Amino acid sequence: MDIKGAAAVVTGGASGLGEAVVRRLVGAGGAAVILDRDASKGKALADELGDNTVFVQADVTDADQVQAAVDAAGALGPLRVAVNCAGIGMASRTVGRDGQAHDLDVFRTVISINLIGTFNVLRLAAAAMSKTDALADGERGVIVNTASIAAFDGQIGQVAYSASKAGIVGLTLPAARDLSPVGVRVVTIAPGIFDTPLLGLMPEDQRQALGDGVPFPKRLGYPADFAALVEEIVRNDYLNGETIRLDGALRMAPR
């Protein structure tokens, strides 16, 4: 699919992986709606990138707010791309060292934002895409989700996060099958350890140690690496129903 002239909605688009995706798509001639809760960063990025970029403040778990973002993308051009980058992580053991059980509300919150939020965007974006004109090959759009290698190699304290990301992996193929009649593809990326604002808060020696643990290349992933894969997924219409690990061959140890 050609990105030029197509519109996209990118959740978590104001920073980190999402910001890199927005920059990549707009740089390739597309238009983008930045869906994020951070109004300051979202507006600043939209102002920087110009007329083909709009910021919509929204919570991915809110159907009305997400629908507004999808509608805004459709006003920029035919909605062809949706990229789910919004997510959170909260570390807690199933039973803590103090004998306390995992907080159920924390588990619900992580599942709600990471898994239910992803599906909320997927379903609404897919519905909008299904109403657009098909391209010559019958394709109407592509949805790219963000899981994590924690879906496969969850570490101690990641039970909620790993469950939420494993759910995204699990819905990828059936969603792709569901949407095949309307020509919408679904692909998931499972990133390893990436140099995002969250890791930027860590001391440099700890960041270096994390990068050294990656088999090759021995570094943290760059948001640009993620954005480049998103672009390839959009362009390569035979990628569908698959989860792609983007991790430098890293396999996470228990801790």
3-state secondary structure 86-121: CCCCCCECCECCCCCECCHHHHHHHHHHHHHHHHHH
Rounded to the nearest angstrom, the gap between the alpha carbon of residue 71 and the centroid of all alpha carbons in its chain is 19
Comparing 255 with 187, the larger pLDDT belongs to 187
What CA–CA distance (Å, rounded) separates 12 from 83? 9
Inter-axis angle of helices 63-76 and 117-129, nearest 10: 40
Which are the catalytic amino acids? 161
% residues pLDDT > 70 (the chain)? 100
CATH superfamily of 7-246: NAD(P)-binding Rossmann-like Domain (3.40.50.720)
pTM for this entry? 0.96
Q: What is the pLDDT of residues 146-181, one digit of tens each?
A: 999 999 999 999 999 999 999 999 999 999 999 999
For residue 199, pLDDT over 90 is answered with: no
For residue 211, pLDDT over 70 is answered with: yes
Q: What is the pLDDT of residues 100-154, one digit of tens each?
A: 999 999 999 999 999 999 999 999 999 999 999 999 999 999 999 999 999 999 9
Tell me the CA distances in angstroms from 90 to 46, 129, 156, 167, 255, one per residue in order: 29, 33, 12, 16, 15
What CA–CA distance (Å, rounded) separates 90 from 70? 28
The first and second tokens of residue 8, run together, are 């996209």
231, 179 contact by CB (below 8 A): no
For residue 201, pLDDT over 70 is answered with: no
